[in-house]
């Protein structure tokens, strides 16, 4: 089944805590995952940032909203327990507990009002899907990154061949290859024959070298081009090569490259190229930066 949204989780969560005992968040997450019949794949599905499972995040927000309404309490870090108000809510035998249900409590209304004053989209997302505030933020970030990647790739495709060569140099140096930009620049342009566009040091000491093929193409790169590159590497007795293109690789090309043991070939298509550019700040600059902060629970631990 689809991963339930945080409001769908609220009632099963409160029922799980109805025994009045203290429960760790790990117990809660495991029990609710079993109740909803989630597979391991669904449980391991991550937020766009890749830092936390979606289901864990939604259980956490369900706990937060129930605590804000006074139905749950957290006696200590990572532990929840139902309150008397929570028991009374269950005694009403509600069909569901969601934000509308919690709005009967003044503390929750104040919490929602404060959240809306800071960001109206947090508690009332435009989509029909109910998502947590963190998911809304991460989805917005992912959308911005996707748009940036598309625009960046288009700019790279429109650039001159000389500029593209310089871009490859900048990226490889930013990733730790080639030593200085001057050394890398000399290395990249000095071959340009036999199917090899350049050579660059793998490390700053030059203990090993990597051969480069860079194609500013629109059409997919097929197996014949990769075979030609491999032949050129073998002619140089080279052990490592990188084939970079602004387009893509055919399945046959990727299968061929993945089955080669010596020399080792790495294929970088247009999407991966701009992803690396963004990661290593090549051709992009930071526009805004936001920090997401939470309570430092250790700070409040008393001796």
pLDDT band at 235 (very low <50, low <70, confident <90, very high): confident
Q: Quote the pLDDT of residue 179.
A: 65
- pLDDT tens for 90-135 read 999 999 999 999 999 999 998 888 766 554 444 443 334 567 888 8
Q: Quote the pLDDT of residue 184.
A: 65
Of residues 300 and 129, more confidence is placed in 300
* Spatial contact of 176 and 202, defined as CB atoms under 8 Å apart: no
Three-state DSSP at 195 gives coil
* Spatial contact of 105 and 69, defined as CB atoms under 8 Å apart: yes
Three-state DSSP at 259 gives coil
* Spatial contact of 149 and 279, defined as CB atoms under 8 Å apart: no
Q: Does 16 score more than 60 pLDDT?
A: yes
Out of 56-65, 152-161, 287-296, pick the least confident.
287-296
Which is nearest to 197 in space by CA: 223, 155, 233? 233
Please tell me the distance from the alpha carbon of residue 70 to that of residue 84, in angstroms, as a whole number. Answer: 9
CB-side neighbour CA atoms (13 Å) of 211: 24
Q: Does 281 score more than 80 pLDDT?
A: yes
* Spatial contact of 32 and 59, defined as CB atoms under 8 Å apart: yes
> Strand runs (DSSP E) across the chain, as ranges?
23-24, 72-73, 79-82, 198-201, 209-215, 240-245, 264-268
Out of 49-63, 80-94, 132-146, 174-188, pick the least confident.
174-188
Q: Does 52 score more than 70 pLDDT?
A: yes
Please tell me the distance from the alpha carbon of residue 191 to that of residue 97, in angstroms, as a whole number. Answer: 68
Mean pLDDT, residues 222-232: 93
Q: Does 158 score more than 90 pLDDT?
A: no
Q: Quote the pLDDT of residue 33.
A: 97
* Spatial contact of 250 and 222, defined as CB atoms under 8 Å apart: yes
Q: Quote the pLDDT of residue 256.
A: 95
Q: Does 19 score more than 50 pLDDT?
A: yes
Q: Quote the pLDDT of residue 302.
A: 58
> What residues contact 218, with CB distance under 8 A and at least 6 apart?
157, 246, 247
Q: Quote the pLDDT of residue 47.
A: 85
Which is nearest to 30 in space by CA: 13, 52, 14? 13
In order of 181, 199, 201, 203, 220, the CA distances from 186 in angstroms are 9, 9, 11, 15, 29
DSSP 244: E
End-to-end alpha carbon distance in the chain: 45
Mean pLDDT, residues 163-181: 82
Q: Please report the domains of the chain, with CATH numbers, ordered by start residue.
A: 6-130 (1.10.10), 159-268 (3.40.1340.10)
pLDDT band at 195 (very low <50, low <70, confident <90, very high): low
């Amino acid at each position: 089944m689809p991963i339930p949204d945080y409001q769908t989780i609220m009632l099963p969560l409160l029922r799980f805590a109805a025994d009045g005992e203290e429960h760790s968040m790990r117990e809660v997450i495991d029990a609710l995952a079993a109740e909803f019949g989630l597979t391991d794949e669904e449980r391991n599905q991550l937020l766009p940032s890749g830092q936390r499972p979606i289901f864990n995040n939604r259980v956490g927000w369900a706990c937060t909203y129930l605590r804000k309404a006074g139905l749950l309490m957290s006696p200590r870090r990572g532990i929840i327990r139902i309150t008397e108000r929570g028991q009374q809510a269950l005694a009403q035998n509600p069909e569901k507990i969601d934000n509308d249900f919690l709005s009967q409590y003044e503390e929750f209304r104040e919490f929602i009002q404060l959240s809306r004053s800071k960001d109206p989209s947090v508690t009332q997302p435009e989509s029909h899907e109910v998502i947590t505030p963190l998911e809304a933020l991460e989805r917005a970030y992912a959308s911005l990154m996707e748009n940036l990647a598309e625009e960046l790739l288009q700019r790279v495709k429109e650039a001159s061949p000389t500029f593209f060569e310089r871009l490859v140099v900048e990226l490889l140096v930013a990733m730790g290859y080639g030593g200085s930009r001057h050394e890398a620049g000399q290395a990249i342009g000095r071959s340009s024959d036999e199917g090899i566009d350049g050579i660059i040091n793998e490390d700053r000491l030059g203990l090993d070298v990597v051969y480069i093929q860079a194609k500013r193409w629109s059409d997919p790169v097929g197996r014949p081009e990769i075979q030609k590159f491999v032949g050129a590497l073998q002619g140089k007795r080279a052990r490592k090569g990188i084939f970079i293109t602004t387009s893509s690789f055919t399945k046959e090309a990727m299968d061929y490259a993945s089955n080669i043991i010596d020399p080792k070939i790495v294929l970088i298509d247009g999407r991966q190229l701009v992803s690396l550019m963004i990661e290593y700040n090549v051709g992009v600059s930071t526009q805004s930066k936001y920090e997401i902060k939470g309570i430092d629970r250790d700070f409040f631990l008393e001796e």
